[in-house]
Structure 1
Amino acid sequence: MTRTNRIIIALIILIALSFAFEGMKHSETEDSIILSEPWDHSPITVYIDDKDVPEHYSPSYREDVEKALEYWESGGNGQLTYEADFEIVDVDNADILVMWVDNLEEDAGVDNGVAGFARPYIVNGRFERIDIVLETGNYQGYSWVQYGDIAMKDIATHELGHALGLGHSSDRDDIMYPTYDRRENLNPLLLHSTWPVLLLLIIAAVTIISYHGTGWLHYRKKRKNLEDDIFSDMNEEERNE
């Protein structure tokens, strides 16, 4: 087996192992709860500020927040210990205030990659009010990238989870997994979607190893036969002498 083939096989095995390890590393869920009973009343009132909005705000973002509210009302990720019930109101002294800025890093001084945050005001162990701030986009290099509706719905759903008393989850499939980590790290769903490719890579590696292994055995056999013939001829010559 040549050095190049050994390097190729080693790379294939490393890629396969890295995918497998990535999938196993986040197979367990460790959900943390900030408050098990965060509100002392129901329904929880929500004001969606679609009036005082930044330049890149999209009118569809309000509907994204409404879908996020429906997600939690229907049970969410299954971690709530109570039934969430919301009421959208048109006054800004609601229990939850949802607002937008163009970029949290520039407008609020948060770390790059954070797409939203929930600021709770706690009195006697219960939420009195929560401000949820969402950004409309972020920079990828020097380019501004506007969030689409799917991304905005996910961000709003995550922050509303905090407003319902949930902390972060270590399960990447969970909506409460930190969104900024989710952007930076490999999504385990990639493992499921690319397993046929990984299988082909493994088969290719086994085929290469088998091919070279068979060739090496064939070479050894031919060499042994040749050596036997040579030694046989030498012995024959010695006997003739």
Structure 2
Amino acid sequence: MAVNSEAIRKFLRVYFIMGSVNCQKDPEEVLLAAIRGGISLFQFREKGNACLQGEDKLQLAKKLQTICRNNQIPFIVNDDIELALEIDADGVHIGQEDESADIVRQKIGSKILGVSAHNLIEARKAIDDGADYLGIGPIYPTSTKEDAKAVQGHSFLKELRALDIQIPLVGIGGITAENAAPIIGAGADGVSVITAISQAESPEESARLLSIAVLNELNELKNVH
């Protein structure tokens, strides 16, 4: 799935990340509800205690991918390059502890490649290695990732944009509809969330409120410029 930067900016607006361990309800139901609420991109992230392995993981990935395909939502796989290639996912997202982005780019060809970056050196290397977008965070405190780095607030987003780094950016970490707008104001193209949707009383309503918050801020910024 070769896509240009403008298309990726739109995909990143409300970026939902989820695996079976993040849900209190059936993952398929949660994803369908999130899509109804307005998510624009989905990442399958099957990690953590009691996460699915092997065939079970593969089957869940296929079910969630089918839901995304039926709703024209790009389907990204976290870290597992072999799985992404096996099911022909739309892309992959990798962290700094995974294979380097240039090697992953060679493996996945023109599929979407997202890379987590926590400082300028990591960001520049990811861009040089062929990343399509950068995941920036954690913006706010989060309990979802046990190995989360230090909270950054909006400073790194602002730094990247001040240096005229134009690659699409998405914020992650502790994001809700209430605190999403300043992330867009700081230079992100969208927000990525896990529990704000996956564990919400109504995943659909939570996704809708996030979408409204992001789009309102994007429209305000357009009007300012």
TM-score range, shorter chain: under 0.3
Structure showing greater radius of gyration is: 1
Query: Taking structure 2 as the reference length, what is the TM-score of the superposition?
Result: 0.23
Query: Taking structure 1 as the reference length, what is the TM-score of the superposition?
Result: 0.22
